[in-house]
Amino acid sequence: MPRYYDTLLKRHPDNPVISPGDFPHGRADAVFNCGQTMHDGQAVLLLSVLLADNPSPAVYVARSSDGLHFDIRPEPFMTRVQDPQLAGYDGWVIDTRVTRIDDTYYIVRPTGSTAHALLYRTRDFETCEFVDCIALTHNRVPCLFPGKIGGYYWKLDRPSSGKPPENPGSIWISRSPDLVHWGHFRPLLDPFIHWASFKIGPTPPIRTERGWLEIIHGVSRNCSTARYSLGAVLLDLDDPGRIVGRMNEYLLTPETDYEHCGRTPDVVFTCGAIADEQEDRLRVYYGGADTCICLAEGSLSEIVEACVSGGEQS
């Protein structure tokens, strides 16, 4: 399918960069939506993997020195939570969000259909430690800011499934003194444009000189299916509950075979992004059709400027 027009994120010509057949022993049906960060000079992806012989997915670590060729550790990094009070609610281990705070990497992921949010931490991506449940149902996408602002930790949430007759899938913001006890919940952004008219969701914010860059996903619906696209919002550095810019155009929307065809058609979905201010580059590893991992890249400053040009929204 031809592209309608150029966007600020460009697909890498080697896409998909990870396919189910790349998983060790060839047992994967899907390798999709990944947490992403840098560690020891390498790109680290936390892959959501659905194996052919296992009804429940798990999270696996993939590392790369060049950002394109990944070594996937064959043993799972994260499986169902062992806490006896939560284990019965946890059956779908996917969609991790990674935030570095000082020398510790904090990982948030949803549980199964109940979609509580669980917090973990690691320093080496060899093992991870469960911290606590930090959001009640229905909240699939909590994302932490990378450090305190005004004496508090902050996170973005999507506290709704987005399914009628519930409230639409909107982004909220909250704060905490310790990463476990959260309060001061406030609405931040509702679905706002045709490509994000049904529900939206956040990723871990990225600090820039002009504000917190927030890559979001947006969902639209038609008579036959849903469509997942990516966009961007800019938040005030000192008051992250205030939107100072927003793109009305999408950064990426399904247009290729590997985004149209798979377990969930018409999906580009990311759980984060990796910024390099020195190189003025933003890398976004995203899931194509809930089946493979793809890469899109763009100019960090151009994306921020596009948000600013869109104007202050609240």
Question: Residue type at 240?
Answer: P
pLDDT digits (tens, 9 = 90+) for 41-50: 999 999 999 9
Q: What mean pLDDT do residues 184-188 have?
A: 96
pLDDT digits (tens, 9 = 90+) for 299-312: 999 999 999 998 55
> What pTM does this model have?
0.95
Q: What mean pLDDT do residues 162-181 have?
A: 83
pLDDT digits (tens, 9 = 90+) for 190-222: 999 999 999 999 999 999 999 999 999 999 998
| CA–CA distance, 212 with 207 (Å, rounded to integer) | 5
pLDDT digits (tens, 9 = 90+) for 267-287: 999 999 999 999 999 999 999
Identify the pLDDT of residue 311: 55
Are the CB atoms for 31 and 16 separated by under 8 Å? no
Query: DSSP letter at 253?
Result: -
Tell me how far CA of residue 3 lies from CA of 15, 58, 59, 183, 256, in angstroms: 15, 34, 32, 43, 8
Identify the pLDDT of residue 314: 45
| Residues ≥6 apart with Cβ < 8 Å to 210 | 234, 244, 245, 304, 308
Q: With 90 as the cut, is the pLDDT of residue 176 above it?
A: yes
pLDDT digits (tens, 9 = 90+) for 1-28: 445 568 999 999 999 999 999 999 878 9
Identify the pLDDT of residue 163: 62
Q: Dihedral sign, CA of 139, 100, 208, 10?
A: negative
Among the ranges given (50-64, 170-184, 232-246), the one the predictor scored with the smallest mean pLDDT: 50-64
Identify the pLDDT of residue 1: 44
pLDDT digits (tens, 9 = 90+) for 29-86: 999 999 999 999 999 999 999 998 888 899 999 999 999 999 999 999 999 999 999 9
Q: With 60 as the cut, is the pLDDT of residue 166 above it?
A: no
Q: With 60 as the cut, is the pLDDT of residue 252 above it?
A: yes
pLDDT digits (tens, 9 = 90+) for 84-134: 999 888 888 999 999 999 999 999 999 977 779 999 999 999 999 999 999
The token pair at 241 is 């509950």
Q: With 80 as the cut, is the pLDDT of residue 180 above it?
A: yes
CA nearest to 190, candidates 153, 225, 216, 208 = 216
In order of their start, the domains of the chain are 10-310 (2.115.10.20)
Q: With 60 as the cut, is the pLDDT of residue 240 above it?
A: yes
Q: With 60 as the cut, is the pLDDT of residue 147 above it?
A: yes
162 pLDDT band, cuts 50/70/90, is: low
Identify the pLDDT of residue 56: 85
| CA–CA distance, 306 with 252 (Å, rounded to integer) | 14
Identify the pLDDT of residue 33: 96
Identify the pLDDT of residue 81: 92
Are the CB atoms for 33 and 49 separated by under 8 Å? no
Are the CB atoms for 72 and 24 separated by under 8 Å? yes
In angstroms, the first-to-last Cα distance of the chain is 37
Are the CB atoms for 122 and 107 separated by under 8 Å? yes
| CA–CA distance, 103 with 57 (Å, rounded to integer) | 28
| Residues ≥6 apart with Cβ < 8 Å to 305 | none
